[in-house]
Amino acid sequence: MRVGIGYDSHRFGDKRKLIIGGVIVPCEKGLVGHSDADVLCHAIIDAVIGAVGLGDIGRLFPDTDPRWKDAVSTELLRDVVDLARTNGYAIAWVDATIIAERPKISPFIEEMKSALSVAGIPAGMINIKAKTNEGMGFIGRGEGIAAQAICLLSRT
């Protein structure tokens, strides 16, 4: 068995859709990033990559590479889950936390689980929590969103 931890954060920006966990969440602003800026997918990707021992998301999908401009993060996650499988591992469990002052995330958690199952993580093998930052820091000021994830891989 192997364990990996992931973290990601993005700031809010105009003229972007807010995509979290592969789901479009209604909000007046979206997150800014080279890809679709899906903080949850990016944190999970980093956790899986870390558990396999292959560095981080920036090594596999550098933001200096035009191939990843506006990339769909659920597709990147599917590639990373396949990479873990190729290296002899399967997802045993993912636990993730989305930290956002706004919008309210909890109504979308089950839909996120479904979207992530399409990316290769069965809905029964993922737990997603939503938290605020109680008004503190960049998240508390409503400047952005962060996510953390931990992934447990088992040998296939």
Residue 57 vs residues 5, 21, 48, 66: alpha-carbon distances, Å? 12, 16, 10, 15
Whole-number pLDDT of residue 139: 97
Q: Which domains does the chain have, with CATH numbers?
A: 2-155 (3.30.1330.50)
Q: State pTM to two decimals.
A: 0.96
Virtual CA dihedral for 51, 68, 64, 84, nearest 10 degrees?
20
Percent of the chain with pLDDT over 90: 94
Neighbouring C-alpha atoms within 13 Å toward the C-beta of 63:
11
Size of the chain in residues: 156
pLDDT band at 123 (very low <50, low <70, confident <90, very high): confident
Residue 146 has a pLDDT of 98
Taking alpha carbons only, the member of 91, 1, 10 closest to residue 48 is 91
